[in-house]
Amino acid sequence: MSVTKIAARYAKSLIELAAEAGKLNQVHDDMLMLRQAAQNRDLRLMLKSPVIQNDKKNAALQAIFTGKIDALTLSYLQLLVNKNRESFIPEITDEFIDQYKTMNKITSLKVITASELSDATLDALRKKIVEAGVTFENLDIETQIDPKIVGGFILEFDNKRYDASVIHKLTELKNQFQKNLYIREV
């Protein structure tokens, strides 16, 4: 079975379990924390190690996360370890967050600009995007600064990219001039 299918199935079961228990938002917060924790190299190596016994992995996860995440999430982690699926925790957390956003009609939007945007500009951008009807009304906006784009912005969402940066426009202009058949060399 592919990693994507495994992650989707386990994430779906956790979403259903959390929704039944009325802890969906808490478990979502836990998944955000687990996603961050899974970036730790030592934790990833421990989870993927076939040499470390499951009881040691469970004890380590208990020591790390007890009191920091909900008991439901902690029990779920133990289930993953007992089913030998602990190496998929990073993928499961990503899939859970994606399914949670879909369930709650939240669109993740990345805005890349040359300099930091003001709150007023971000609000105006949010309003324009929602009015365009290409996203859900709830937006999760991530901003990134890239001085190489000179000016303008780049929007990324739903596997789409809208590039309104100055560097992109200059590159397009350059390509048009290079393809111009009417330019004669003297």
Residue pLDDT, tens place only, 47-80: 999 999 999 999 999 999 999 999 999 999 999 9
Domain with CATH 1.10.520.20 in the chain: 3-102
Residue whose token pair is 């925790």: 89
Q: What is the pTM of this model?
A: 0.77
Mean pLDDT in residue range 12-24 = 95
Reported as a pLDDT band with limits 50, 70 and 90, residue 181 is: low
pLDDT at 34: 95
Q: What percent of the chain has pLDDT over 90?
A: 81
Strand partners, 113: 145, 153
Residue 139 has pLDDT above 70, yes or no: yes
CATH number belonging to domain 3-102: 1.10.520.20
pLDDT tens digits for 20-35? 999 999 999 999 999 9
Residue 167: C-alpha distances to residues 104, 119, 149, 161, 177 (Å)? 36, 24, 5, 15, 15
pLDDT at 137: 87
